[in-house]
Structure 1
Amino acid sequence: MEDQIKEPQELNEEQQAPVEILDREQKNARQRFIKQIRKAFVIFDPENRGAVPVEEIRFIVHTLELSPTEAQLNEFIQSICEDEMIEIQYEKLEASLLPILEQGKWPKASEELLLQAFKTIETTLNQMQADAEEDDEIEQKDEGGDAESRSSTASTNVRGPSMKKSKPAPPLTGYLSVEKLTELMTMHGEPFKQTELEDFLKNVPSEDGIVEYSKLATLLANE
C-alpha cells in the first residue's frame, strides 16, 4: 500500500487566535522600534539628508537608551562601517539596530547598578581629595621645617609611592556636586555634547548645586 501523504490540518479558530495575536504584537513592536530609531536618527540629521557622520552612531545608540559597553559599541560600529567610511545611511543603521532592539540587547543599567557606580565615583573622588590634602601637608612641612625634617621627608620620598600610606578617605555622603558631574561627563570616557549635557542637567534633581545620587540613579533607571 502506498504511503498516503497527509495534508496539513488547518488551525481551528481557537488555535489561530493566539498565533494571530502574537504575530500582530511582533509587527506592532517592530513598527514601534522603527519609529524610535527614526526619531533618534533625525536628531543628528537636521537637514534630513538620510545620512549622518559615522561618529554620530554612538550618540544615536545612547539616545535609544541602549547601554552597550565601550567594547560592544566599538565592535558594532566597526561591523556596519566599511573602511574609510565617513557617513552611514539611515536604512543601513535601521537594519542593524532593529535586531538589537527586538532581542532586548544592551538594556539600560538597573537602579542598583547605577547607584553602585555613583558610590564608586564618590569613593574615588574622596580618596583623590584625601591624597591631595596629604601631599599639601607634606609640602607645607617641607617648607616650614628645618634641614633635618626636610632630610627625613626626602628619605621617605626616596622609598617611592608604593611605600606611602594613603590618608583614609572620608565616608560616603550620598551626594555629588553638579560641577563634578559635569566634569566627569565632559572630560572622561566618551564626552557628552553640549546639547546633551544641557538636556541631562535640566533633569538632574539638585539643590544648591548638590545632587543626591540615589535619586539620580532612580531617575536614570526609570526614564
Structure 2
Amino acid sequence: EAGERELEFKLALAEFHKKIKEAFEVFDHESNNTVDVREIGTIIRSLGCCPSEGELHDLLAEVEEEEPTGYIRYEKFLPVMTKVLLERRYRPIPEDVLLRAFEVLDSAKRGFLTKEELIKYMTEEGEPFSQEEMEEMLSAAIDPDSNSINYKEYITMMVIDEN
C-alpha cells in the first residue's frame, strides 16, 4: 500500500509539473525560461489557485531573485508552485459555500442583492476593498438593467472548473 501511495504521489507530481510548465510557457515570450514578474498572478490563477494580494506578495518573495530583476525564473517558480498545488493552498471557495454566504446577506430571499447592498457589505464588513477593486467587481457582477446582482448566475460564472 505504501508503494501504491508513493506511485500516486509521483504521478500527481508529474502532472503538476506538466501543468505548471504549460502555464509558465504561455507567458515565457522569449522562450528563455523566465516570465515578467507581473504575469505571476495570472499564471497562478490559471492553475486554479486564488491567492489574496498578500498571499501573492509572499509567494513572489519566495520566487524572486536576491536582487529583483523584474523577471521570475522557471527553476525558482516550479518547486514553490508545486508545493502550493500539493498542499492545495489558495483553493477557490466551493460554489455551495458562496451561495450560502450570499443567501445570508439576502435576508428577504429575493435571489438578488442590489448594487447599494453589495457596496455596503463590501465596504463595511471584513477587509475593505479598494475603490478600484470594487468597480472591477461591480462591473462584472451587476446587471445594468436591474442595477442588482443575481448571485446564483454570478457564482456559476465565477467558479472555476476544477478539471
Q: TM-score, normalised by structure 2?
A: 0.66
Q: Distance in 1 between matches of 2:103 and 2:51?
A: 18
1:221 maps to 159
Q: Could you say what the CA RMSD is over the residues aligned between the two structures, in angstroms?
A: 3.7
Q: Distance in 1 between matches of 2:149 and 2:115?
A: 15
SS class of match (2:19)? helix
SS class of match (1:68)? coil
2:95 maps to 111
The more displaced of 110-119 and 78-87 is: 110-119
2:86 maps to 102
Distance 1:93 1:218, change over 3 A: same
Q: Distance in 2 between matches of 1:111 and 1:78?
A: 31
Residue by residue, what CA displacement relative to the aligned partner does 1:130-187 show, whole Å, maximum 9, x if unpaired?
xxxxxxxxxxxxxxxxxxxxxxxxxxxxxxxxxxxxxxx9xxxxxxxxxxxxxxxxx4
Residue by residue, what CA displacement relative to the aligned partner does 1:64-84 show, whole Å, maximum 9, x if unpaired?
110122211111112221343
Q: Does 2:13 correspond to 1:30? A: yes
1:188 maps to 133
Unpaired runs of 5+ in structure 2? 106-111, 121-131
Q: Distance in 1 between matches of 2:102 and 2:70?
A: 34
Q: Does 2:93 correspond to 1:93? A: no
Verify the 8 A CA contact 2:37 2:70 in the aligned structure 1. yes
Residue by residue, what CA displacement relative to the aligned partner does 1:100-152 show, whole Å, maximum 9, x if unpaired?
111111111121443436997x75722589xxxxxxxxxxxxxxxxxxxxxxx
Q: Distance in 2 between matches of 1:113 and 1:35?
A: 30
Residue by residue, what CA displacement relative to the aligned partner does 1:1-38 show, whole Å, maximum 9, x if unpaired?
xxxxxxxxxxxxxxxxx122111100000011111111
The letter for the 2-side match of 1:126 is E
Map 1:196-207 → 2, pairs under 5 A = none
Unpaired runs of 5+ in structure 1? 1-17, 130-168, 170-186, 193-200
1:222 Cα offset (Å): 5.5
2:23 maps to 40
Map 1:42-61 → 2, pairs under 5 A = 42-61=25-44
Q: Distance in 2 between matches of 1:20 and 1:128?
A: 51
Task: Give the aligned length.
Answer: 138
Verify the 8 A CA contact 2:16 2:82 in the aligned structure 1. yes
Q: Distance in 1 between matches of 2:152 and 2:118?
A: 22
SS class of match (2:72)? strand
Report which of the two structures shows the higher radius of gyration computed on alpha carbons. 1
Verify the 8 A CA contact 2:36 2:70 in the aligned structure 1. yes
The letter for the 1-side match of 2:28 is D
Verify the 8 A CA contact 2:29 2:35 in the aligned structure 1. no
Q: Distance in 2 between matches of 1:104 and 1:126?
A: 35
Q: Distance in 2 between matches of 1:107 and 1:88?
A: 23
Distance 1:27 1:128, change over 3 A: closer
